[in-house]
Amino acid sequence: MQNIEITRLFEELADLLEIQNANPFRVRAYRNAARTLGDLPESAAEILADPNRSLDDLPGIGKDLAEKIATIVSTRTLPQLEELRAAVPAGVVEMLKVPGLGPKKAAALFQQLQITSLAELKAQCESGAVAKLKGFGAKTAQVILEGLAHLAQAGQRLYLAEVEPLAEELLTHLRGVPGVVRVEAAGSFRRRRETLGDLDLLAIARNSEAVMQALAAHPAVDKVLQQGETKQRVRLKLGLEMDLRVVPEESYGAALQYFTGSKDHNIRVRQRAIERGLKLNEYGLFRGETQVGGATENEVYQAVELPWIPPELRESRREFDWAVAGTLPTLIEPGDLQGDLHMHTTATDGAATIREMIEAAQTRGLTYIAITDHSQRVSMANGLDAKHLRKHWAEIEAIRADYPRIHVLKGIECDILEDATLDLDDEVLAEADWVLAVLHYGLKQPAEQITRRLMTAIENPHVDAIGHLTGRLIGKRPPAAMDLGTVLRGMSQHGKWLEINAHPARLDADDITVAQAKDLGIPIVINSDSHSVQGFEVLKYGVYQARRGGLESGDVMNALPWGEFRNRLARRRRNDV
Q: Are residues 40 and 91 both part of a single domain? A: yes
Q: Are residues 302 and 349 both part of a single domain? A: no
Q: Are residues 132 and 145 both part of a single domain? A: yes
Q: Are residues 466 and 490 both part of a single domain? A: yes
Q: Are residues 30 and 166 both part of a single domain? A: no
Beta carbons within 8 Å of 174's beta carbon, 6+ residues apart: 180, 183, 201, 203, 211, 214, 215, 244
What are 199's strand-pairing partners? 242
Q: Rounded to whole angstroms, how far apart are CA atoms 38 and 537?
A: 10
Res 25: pLDDT:
86
Domain that holds residue 466: 334-575
Beta carbons within 8 Å of 405's beta carbon, 6+ residues apart: 362, 367
Res 155: pLDDT:
59
Q: Rounded to whole angstroms, how far apart are CA atoms 306 and 329?
A: 14
Beta carbons within 8 Å of 567's beta carbon, 6+ residues apart: none
Q: What is the pTM of this model?
A: 0.81
Burial zone of 521 (CB within 10 Å; 0-12 exposed, 13-18 middle, 19+ buried):
exposed
Res 566: pLDDT:
97
Burial zone of 164 (CB within 10 Å; 0-12 exposed, 13-18 middle, 19+ buried):
buried
Please measure the distance between the N-terminal and C-terminal CA atoms of the chain and give it in whole angstroms.
50
Q: Rounded to whole angstroms, how far apart are CA atoms 403 and 355?
A: 9
Is residue 196 within 8 Å of residue 157, measured between CB atoms?
A: yes
Helix (H, G, I), strand (E, B), or coil: what is residue 69?
A: helix
Question: Domain holding 110: CATH number?
Answer: 1.10.150.110
Sign of CA dihedral 299, 304, 310, 316: negative
Res 22: pLDDT:
86
Res 333: pLDDT:
97
Q: Rounded to whole angstroms, how far apart are CA atoms 191 and 260?
A: 7
Q: How many domains does the chain have?
A: 4
Q: Are residues 475 and 402 both part of a single domain? A: yes
Res 24: pLDDT:
86
Beta carbons within 8 Å of 242's beta carbon, 6+ residues apart: 170, 198, 199, 200, 201, 233, 234, 235, 236
Q: Rounded to whole angstroms, how far apart are CA atoms 525 and 499?
A: 5
Q: Rounded to whole angstroms, how far apart are CA atoms 502 and 536?
A: 9
Strands (E), 58-206: 158-159, 180-185, 195-196, 198-205
Q: Rounded to whole angstroms, how far apart are CA atoms 392 and 527?
A: 21
Burial zone of 551 (CB within 10 Å; 0-12 exposed, 13-18 middle, 19+ buried):
buried
The residue from 246, 277, 298 where one domain ends is: 246
Residue in 162, 179, 180 with CA at minimum distance from that of residue 171: 180
The residue from 131, 154, 177 where one domain ends is: 154
Q: Are residues 288 and 362 both part of a single domain? A: no
Is residue 375 within 8 Å of residue 437, measured between CB atoms?
A: no
Q: Rounded to whole angstroms, how far apart are CA atoms 412 and 426?
A: 13
The greatest distance separating any two alpha carbons of the chain, rounded to the nearest whole angstrom, comes to: 77
Beta carbons within 8 Å of 531's beta carbon, 6+ residues apart: 35, 39, 343, 344, 349, 350, 351
Q: Are residues 388 and 296 both part of a single domain? A: no
Q: Are residues 143 and 173 both part of a single domain? A: no
Q: Are residues 141 and 190 both part of a single domain? A: no
Please give the single-letter amino acid code of residue 199: L
Is residue 468 within 8 Å of residue 529, measured between CB atoms?
A: yes
3-state secondary structure 11-56: HHHHHHHHHCCCCHHHHHHHHHHHHHHHHCCCCHHHHHHCCCCCHH
CA angle 500, 501, 502 (to 5 degrees): 105
CA distances for 172 relative to 103, 185, 193, 226, angstroms: 40, 11, 21, 22
Give the chain's count of helices (H) and strands (E).
Answer: 24, 17
pLDDT in tens, 298-308: 999 999 999 99
- For each of the chain's 577 residues, which pLDDT tens digit applies? 677 778 888 988 988 898 888 888 888 888 888 888 877 767 788 888 888 888 888 877 888 999 999 999 888 888 998 898 888 888 888 888 887 788 888 989 988 999 998 999 999 999 999 999 988 999 899 989 988 887 776 557 899 999 999 999 999 999 999 999 999 999 999 999 999 999 999 999 999 999 999 999 999 998 999 999 999 999 898 888 999 999 999 999 999 999 999 999 999 999 999 999 999 999 999 999 999 999 999 999 999 999 999 999 999 999 999 999 999 999 999 999 999 999 999 999 998 999 999 999 999 999 999 999 999 999 878 899 999 999 999 999 999 999 999 999 999 999 999 999 999 999 999 999 999 999 999 999 999 999 999 999 999 999 999 999 999 999 888 899 999 999 999 999 999 999 999 999 999 999 999 999 999 999 999 999 999 999 999 999 999 999 999 999 999 999 999 999 999 999 998 875 4
Question: Domain holding 446: CATH number?
Answer: 3.20.20.140
Residue in 507, 420, 496, 503 with CA at minimum distance from that of residue 465: 496
pLDDT in tens, 72-97: 988 888 899 889 888 888 888 888 88
Rounded to 10 deg, the angle between the 24-39 and 3-19 helix axes is 160
Strands (E), 372-443: 407-415, 434-438
Question: Domain holding 182: CATH number?
Answer: 3.30.460.10
Q: Are residues 221 and 256 both part of a single domain? A: no
The residue from 154, 173, 197 where one domain ends is: 154
pLDDT in tens, 26-51: 888 888 888 888 777 677 888 888 88
Q: Rounded to whole angstroms, how far apart are CA atoms 185 and 256?
A: 8
Q: Are residues 16 and 107 both part of a single domain? A: yes
Residue in 195, 163, 198, 241 with CA at minimum distance from that of residue 473: 195
